[in-house]
Amino acid sequence: MFEARDLGFAFEGGGPPLLAGLQLRLPPGLTLLQGGDGSGKTTLLRLVAGTLAPTAGQVLRRPDRLYADDPTDPADDGSLAQAWLDARRARHPGWDDATAQQLIQGFALAEHLGKRLEMLSTGSRRKLGLVAAGASGADLTLLDNPFAALDAPSSRCLAQLLADAALGARRAWLVADYALPPLLAGVPLAGLIDLDQPPR
């Protein structure tokens, strides 16, 4: 779904690169991107999404259908939650309404769909993004620290979504976190990218 060779990124002004020499290949299933604070997880997600240009290396393949939306963006504060979902539905031709409804129930979001995003907690906004991620049908889905700010029932719902994703043969998921979330213990990974370890 995505492939890059010798990918790297350095900030302007000199200094050592944040990322260097990464060989990336994201097959269908679930790939974990792990690393500590400042290791470059979010930067790498942006490089994969194409919203940030690498300063070294070459992207060989990027899918046409990619999901990387951030529902906590202040630019969306005035949007109704349902309208925000509807906009993603229109953008993704593989959208699955049944999956969306299942996740809306699992994340207990039904009562919040008529509210503006600025009225929702950070956790509820992140849940909205997870609904869109699961229902989008995108070839590649990028999630940055998805378990953050979730309550226990919602964390279990997300864990089930990702466990199912790990067994999928059509969609690739890249999930960034500090380490493997405990709720995903035993879930088969298609790949592991550890930014705390030097590239091999």
pLDDT in tens, 92-119: 999 999 999 999 999 999 999 999 999 9
The CATH number given to whatever domain includes residue 137 is 3.40.50.300
Distance, CA of 113 to CA of 164 (rounded, Å): 25
Q: Residue 37's domain spans which residues?
A: 30-47+66-194
Q: Which pLDDT score is estimated for 51? A: 95
Task: Tell me the H-state helices in the chain.
Answer: 41-49, 81-91, 97-106, 122-135, 152-166
Q: Which pLDDT score is estimated for 198? A: 62
In a domain, residue 83? The reply is yes
Query: Which parts of the chain have pLDDT scores under 50?
Result: none
Under a CB-based contact definition with an 8 Å cutoff, are residues 172 and 195 in contact?
Answer: no
Q: Which pLDDT score is estimated for 199? A: 57
In a domain, residue 58? The reply is no
- Tokens 């409804």 identify what position? 101
Distance, CA of 169 to CA of 14 (rounded, Å): 42
CB burial of residue 117 (10 Å; 0-12, 13-18, 19+):
buried
In a domain, residue 189? The reply is yes
Q: How many domains does the chain have?
A: 1
Q: Which pLDDT score is estimated for 63? A: 94
CA 182 to chain centre: 18
Pick from 147, 140, 169: nearest CA to 68? 140
Q: Which pLDDT score is estimated for 42? A: 96
In a domain, residue 16? The reply is no
In a domain, residue 12? The reply is no
Q: Classify residue 131 by its DSSP letter.
A: H
CB atoms within 10 A of CB 169: 7
In a domain, residue 171? The reply is yes
Under a CB-based contact definition with an 8 Å cutoff, are residues 188 and 166 in contact?
Answer: yes
Enter the tokens of residue 172: 């690739």
pTM, to two decimals: 0.94
In a domain, residue 131? The reply is yes
In a domain, residue 41? The reply is yes
Q: Which pLDDT score is estimated for 37? A: 93
Q: Which pLDDT score is estimated for 13? A: 80
Q: Which pLDDT score is estimated for 76? A: 96
Q: Which pLDDT score is estimated for 149? A: 87
